[in-house]
Structure 1
Amino acid sequence: MRVVVVGGGIGGLALGAGLRRRGFEVAVFDRDTNVAATGGYHITLDGPAQSALRELVAPETMQRLLASSSALRLRDRDALWDRRGRLLGRGPDLGNHPGIDVDRITLRMLLAEEVGPDLHLGWTVSDVCVGDDGAPRVLFTDAAPVSADLVVGADGTHSLVAQHLAGGRTNSPAGIIGFSGRTLRADLSPGEQQRLGPRSGMAIGPRGAALYVGFLDPVGNSTLDAPGLRMSVTTGPTYIWGAMFPESPATDSLRALCDGALQAALSRRFREQGWAEHTLDVIARADPHSVAAYRFNAASTRATELAPWPAGRITALGDAVHATPPTAGMGAGAAIRDAAALLHHLGDVKDGDTTATEAVNRFEAGMRLRGSEVLTLAMRTVRLILATDTTLGSAATAVTTPILAAAARLRHR
């Protein structure tokens, strides 16, 4: 059975790795020419995502991943702050949490190694169709078409494959523009190093302004103490942050900026909305070349509206089907779980127990439920942020956060 995967992101590479390991004939095509040419930010993999990944890659690769990742159980409890940097509350104890954080580049490179020569870089897909013989075909801008027994779209939020299947977009803007960057902990002021600590946290202010600060330390907080296997691109305590504003002409204009200009504009925007100067230290001291903008897109949270097409020999997975804002930290993990589920069902085809269409039908049924669950969690935070952008929500945020901060101080005395 020949499977063609369109897209070499996390989900596509995970599927390609699993298929190759199980003896399928597979080809993964991606328009990038370098697997390291991706956002240098981090991915969270919870227990189910790690279990799925173990089904897709060799044990040695899993060991290298764990040696290159930061364990959530070694972090302090997460924090919630207001725009003045005052503590509002803390998250649960992470002491028994199985989750890990890993650089996106690191994970992508590990998966690409697993796919090996079946990964084809620099190929731009122009369309998918079904040939006269009933077999799905992938068309390229500057190469001959390729036929397969099954085509899988793992080509992200703007998926050409999913749009072909659905007859239109499978997601829409969620109403938030995100801005992200990387800041070494050592570059922050002593006061901010102490306040932020070895933890992740979120600060929310009026008018839809929010700042997430994620802590990543694949060396000091390594999940597996095996320096010889480590290949993380982050080599010291680092904050991977994400700033969020409601989508508007003003925030849209920021997307035209980059590097230091975008960095300065972000600080200015927060400052104009009453954020304390020290809370912006993490933005001001970031690597300017790491600062980038992106739009939050989201598919429907209703399972019945995901993958709205009859099952066939062309399908899709990950963000191509259930585009998920980063506010739950589960999008990449869901794509990996999709890949493992599809591989499981295709095993029945290889064994002659079912047809490809029947296997895809079962896979898509499970993916709809999985995608709905992840999207529901991610959209809760999106809706909370957008609620503070209303007149009432903005006023309520400004009034209640000092009260919550005072109560937190009393609790933590």
Structure 2
Amino acid sequence: MGMRVVVVGGGIGGLALGAGLRRRGFEVAVFDRDIDVAATGGYHITVDERAQSALRELVAPEIVQRLLASASALRLRNRDAFWDRRGRLLGRGPDLTGDSSVDVDRITLRLLLAEAVGDDLHLGRTVSDVGYGDDGAPHVLFTDGGPVSADLVVGADGAHSLVAQHLAGGPTNSPAGIIGFSGRTLHRDLSPGEQQRLGLRSGLAIGPRGAALYVGFLDPVGNAALDAPELRMSVTTGPTYIWGAMFTESAATESLRDLRDGELQFALLRRFREQGWAEHTLEVIGRADPHSVAAYRFNAASTRATELAPWPTGRITALGDAVHATPPTAGMGAGAAIRDAAALLRHLDDVADGGTTLAEAVNRFEAGMRQRGSEILTLAMRTVRLILATDTTFGAAATAVTTPILAAAVRLRH
């Protein structure tokens, strides 16, 4: 009899694991409360070389080809830029010509992975609890329908994971102190001046008092990682800026979370104006599709490996944001979940081959995941801490004083 694995959560990590298990011949069931796989954030995620390598272990080569044909290659982008709140250039990021990372619409990647999971994906199923049955086997309970038992249960149910909370006896992450707001703006909808300044690149502007604006450039058609139009299934069909506005948490920013669409868009513009941002730098927000504008809180787990997955090894485990919830400031959260899935699959292969026990496999998987999680959280929290540092009296003054000097130095250099 083969091993039966139940995966709770059909986000990127859960679907990647489900796809890999199915491909390797394991008996697997992935349960997700969503009823539509495409009903996910219309934003993009970065899949770096390590995550791409993991995907090649999990899904068939043709799925990887379709992903690359629907992805925007970083190497075809201009070097990233750093600006102040007036839009003055402060510096540039590294040369990307040798970078094999790609950006892909979250919806596209989720659809591809769901296709690979096939009829082992069960939508519209909400998990209410996990635990061990009288026979000692882990089981999953649902708000509707009877329990399902398995040899192994994996929680891939995100930052507010029911599975990880059950294992840890409480939350596995906490608010990082920043609230984010995101939206989508077509390159062609901007004025010529802003098209020129923003360019075909991603960029970050940081101002005093905990305000920052990330502008991500996505073009899966013009910058396709693989030139195969017949395989393309990207949601984004032309040069687009997918931006993220960030503010430190406060009563004022908390009230913004209740707003939606155009109302939220106007409130964001007002807040940036109050903090002295130049009008042209706000055009990317002002000309966004109002229905794309949404708020989300940044949650973060501990950056210390020893504090991740703080539970004794058993036949219930978790991966991705359920364990190492990561703010989007490093663009590595989804990639890390894919790498977790590939690592768990490798360890379960060892069990199937008779090379190790399930307990040893889960133990080794969790040890590796703690290291991975610590590494990406450390990177992501650097930007978070920089933004938080500008919200002190000294930090605000230092930001206001130093950014024009940096901008002037850049102008002299060019």
Which TM class, normalised by the smaller chain length?
over 0.9
Partner residue, 1:339: 341
One-letter amino acid of the structure 2 residue matched with residue 81 of structure 1 = W
Q: Deviations over 1:367-386 (max 9, x none)?
A: 00000000000000000000
Map residues 15-164 of structure 1 onto 2, 5 A cutoff: 15-164=17-166
- Cα distance in 1 for partners of 2:59, 2:412 equals 49
TM-superposed CA distance for 1:137, in Å, is 0.4
Distance in 2 between residues matched to 1:248 and 1:17, nearest whole Å: 41
Query: Which residue of the partner structure matches residue 281 of structure 2?
Result: 279
How far apart are the structure 2 equivalents of 1:73 and 1:229?
Answer: 20
The letter for the 2-side match of 1:18 is G
CA separation in 2, counterparts of 1:323 and 1:93? 29
Structure 2 residue runs of 5 or longer lacking an equivalent are none
CA distance in 1 between counterparts of 2:37 and 2:292 reads 17
Aligned mates of 1:350, 1:117 — CA distance in 2: 23
Report the Cα distance in structure 2 between the residues aligned to 1:3 and 1:356, rounded to whole angstroms: 12
Corresponding residue for residue 371 of structure 2: 369
SS of the residue aligned with 1:76? coil
Deviations 1:335-391, CA, capped at 9 Å, x for gaps: 000000000000011112222111000000000000000000000000000000000
Note the 1:283-362 alignment, pairs <5 A.
Answer: 283-362=285-364
Distance (whole Å) between structure 2 residues aligned to residue 305 and residue 279 of structure 1: 40
> How far did residue 217 of structure 1 move?
0.1
Give the CA deviation at 1:242: 0.1
For residues 390 and 121 of structure 1, the distance between their equivalents in structure 2, rounded to whole angstroms, comes to: 46
Which whole-Å CA distance do the structure 2 matches of 1:246 and 1:358 have between them?
42
Q: How does 1:187-202 map to 2 (within 5 A)?
A: 187-202=189-204
Q: 2: distance between equivalents of 1:244 and 1:92?
A: 23
Partner AA of 2:380 in structure 1: A
The separation in 2 between residues aligned to 1:356 and 1:144, in whole angstroms, is 26
Who is 2:272 aligned against? Answer: 270
Letter aligned with residue 96 of structure 1: G
Q: Identity of paired residues, percent? A: 86
Distance 1:219 1:410 in 2: 36
Structure 1 counterpart of 2:344, one-letter code = L
Q: Which residue of 1 aligns with 2:171?
A: 169
Q: How many residues align?
A: 412
How far 1:125 moved relative to its partner?
0.3
- Residue deviations 1:116-174 (CA, integer Å, cap 9, x gap): 00000000000001001010000000111000000000000000000000000000000
Amino acid at match of 1:242: G
What amino acid is aligned across from residue 247 of structure 2 in structure 1? Answer: F
TM-score (normalizing by structure 1)? 0.99
1:206: how far off?
0.2
The partner residue of 1:250 within 233, 252, 255 is: 252
**Secondary structure, aligned partner of 1:340:** helix
CA distance in 1, matches of 2:20, 2:412: 52
User: 1:271-314 CA distances to partner (integer Å, 9 max, x unpaired)?
Assistant: 00000000000000001110000000000000000000111100
Per the TM alignment, residue 209 of structure 1 is displaced from its structure 2 partner at its CA by: 0.1
Which residue is equivalent to 2:188?
186
Cα deviation per residue 1:383-407 (whole Å; 9 max; x = unaligned)?
0000000000000000001100000
CA distance in 1, matches of 2:358, 2:287: 52
Amino acid at match of 2:317: T
Q: 1:37-66 CA distances to partner (integer Å, 9 max, x unpaired)?
A: 000000001110100011000000000000
Structure 1 gap segments, 5+ residues each: none
Give the deviation of 1:267 after TM superposition. 0.5
RMSD, aligned α-carbons: 0.4
Q: How many angstroms apart in 2 are the aligned matches of 1:288 and 1:134?
A: 51
Distance 1:378 1:224 in 2: 28
Q: Following the alignment from structure 2 to structure 1, what is the Cα–Cα distance between the partners of residues 192 and 362?
A: 54
The structural deviation recorded for 1:329 is 0.4
SS of match in other structure, 2:58 = coil
CA distance in 1, matches of 2:412, 2:102: 32
Local SS of the residue matching 1:55: helix
Distance in 2 between the 1:105 and 1:357 partners?
35
CA distance in 2, matches of 1:180, 1:355: 45
**Normalising to structure 2: TM-score of the pair?**
0.99
- Structure-1 separation of matches of 2:149 and 2:271: 50
